[in-house]
Amino acid sequence: MKKVKIHTKEGDYEGLLVNEVIEKRRQFLIVKLDSGYNIGVDKAKIVTMQESEEKILPDQKTEPGRKPSQPESEKDSLYILHTGGTIASKVDYKSGGVSALFTPEEIVSLFPEIKGSHSIQARLISNVSSEDMGFSSYNNLIENIASFAKKEIEEKEKIKGVIITHGTDTLHYTSAALSFALHGLPFPVVLVGAQRSSDRPSSDARMNLACAVRFVEFAKPKEISGVFACMHSSISDDSCLIFRGVNLRKMHTSRRDAFRQINSAHFAEAWFNENRVELTKSALEELSSGEKKERFSHQEYRPDLRIGVLYAHPGLRKEEILAYQGFHGLIIAGTGLGHLGISRSEEADNTGNLEALKELIKTGTRIAVAPQSIHGRINLNVYSPGRKLKEIGILGNLCAMTIETAFIKLAYLISCFKPELIGELYHADFCGENRMRNLLNE
């Protein structure tokens, strides 16, 4: 993507050359100005156009306390894995829609703020919308990240971290999938998305990506590792929140501050216009707990897995439950403390629901319940319907996982462990998914 200076009969423009379009036999150059706005410049009115000289950006200056720039060969590597999504999308001027059109190299050139004391290595993993991600996609990411971890551990390559550009709609599924599958990471892995495409003036892509890089630069020297996500903290362009990969949820369809950590505080906050990252109280406590760091290892998901999600609702019928026959697993989004209609009352007309659940379990489908409510944990001990679900082998009692994290955890356990261990392991805590922390004074 070229940076150009254009002199026209009507004025001068400087920015990134995004595209060239033809409209009603007139040719226009689409230029992204430094302000973030796009402008169409009529080619017939251009007097001169030239590539501008490279500017020294704020992030490239030597700040107090920062070492002078190192030769590329001596810098730590920062890997950017590109999977597509809105953060890597722009307006397709032919169709008028938004499409994933950026190459990894274009992402780097479009967001100069991510340049720093590291060598950026971009890699195209996929170019899909996040709703098209699945277990094979997770395995592809796992394999790539594992190869980087082995480079650092075995080949002594200095790797600062890995950033994954990802669509927001299922970002929290992918962050959970990586959290369960990657153990003892030697660097932070940060998923970052955007609610608005990168060539819109209101886009959150630039800030989200810059804050993700800032967190990586903060985390690696402090030996903070694991899987995280980075998104806007509010509708303002001040800071981003750094979330743990599990129990993360998208809370709004379009707001830039759509994501929130459920049942615990976020991990950290990174400021856009300041070289500042602050950890929350719970993060500091976690890091000072003295837990021994495990050796790096990774596992993969069965690509043929069929895991369903059944939303409990008034009028639920056994036919809906039995539709999941042949599935490896099923998450029930339960009402209240984890219930669904099994009382056989004439008013509810749910005769056969309990027997249908028993039939699924008998034929090999592992079933767990997660709360429809946003916060809180499942408790099948309180009411008789819950106790009946527990008696027939429904998993999830006293678990504090979101539906999305429960879905991924069940898939992980079915993929990687013997069937007789799944019941016990589902209720264990692997990466913070079953911990509830006091949110006060964070």
Phi-psi region of 84 (alpha: psi -120 to 50; beta: other; left: phi over 0): left
pLDDT at 9: 82
pLDDT at 302: 97
Give CA–CA dist 50/282, Å, rounded: 52
**Residue 326 to residues 15, 170, 196, 359, 423, Cα–Cα distance (Å):** 56, 25, 39, 11, 19
Cβ 435 vs Cβ 282: under 8 Å? no
pLDDT at 347: 61
Q: What share of the chain is helix, strand, coil (3-state, %, to 5)?
A: 30, 25, 45
pTM of the model: 0.82
Give CA–CA dist 433/401, Å, rounded: 6
pLDDT at 112: 73
pLDDT at 82: 86
**Residue 339 to residues 44, 204, 394, 418, 426, Cα–Cα distance (Å):** 68, 39, 11, 28, 18
Other CB atoms within 10 Å distance of the CB of residue 377 = 18
Q: Parallel, antiparallel, or unpaired for β 3-8 and 307-311?
A: unpaired
The total number of residues written for the chain in this structure: 442
Give CA–CA dist 338/372, Å, rounded: 8
pLDDT at 290: 72
Cβ 402 vs Cβ 396: under 8 Å? no
Q: What is the dihedral of CA 32, 205, 408, 286, to 10 degrees?
A: 160
Crossing angle, helix 403-416 and helix 171-181, to 10 degrees?
Answer: 40
pLDDT at 198: 61
List phi, psi (to 5°) of 400: -115, 30
Give CA–CA dist 61/68, Å, rounded: 8
Phi-psi region of 17 (alpha: psi -120 to 50; beta: other; left: phi over 0): beta
pLDDT at 72: 57
Crossing angle, helix 135-154 and helix 171-181, to 10 degrees?
Answer: 50
pLDDT at 97: 52
**Residue 105 to residues 36, 90, 122, 213, 440, Cα–Cα distance (Å):** 19, 15, 7, 16, 43
Per-residue burial over 283-300, b = 16 or more CB atoms within 10 Å of its CB, e = otherwise: beebeeeeeeeeebebeb
pLDDT at 344: 67
Burial class (CB in 10 A: 0-12, 13-18, 19+), 158: middle
Low-confidence residues in the chain, pLDDT < 70: 1, 18-19, 21-25, 34-38, 52-74, 85-110, 197-202, 344-349, 437-442
Going by C-alpha positions, the residue among 365, 374, 441, 367 that lies closest to residue 401 is 374
Catalytic site positions: 86, 168-169, 250
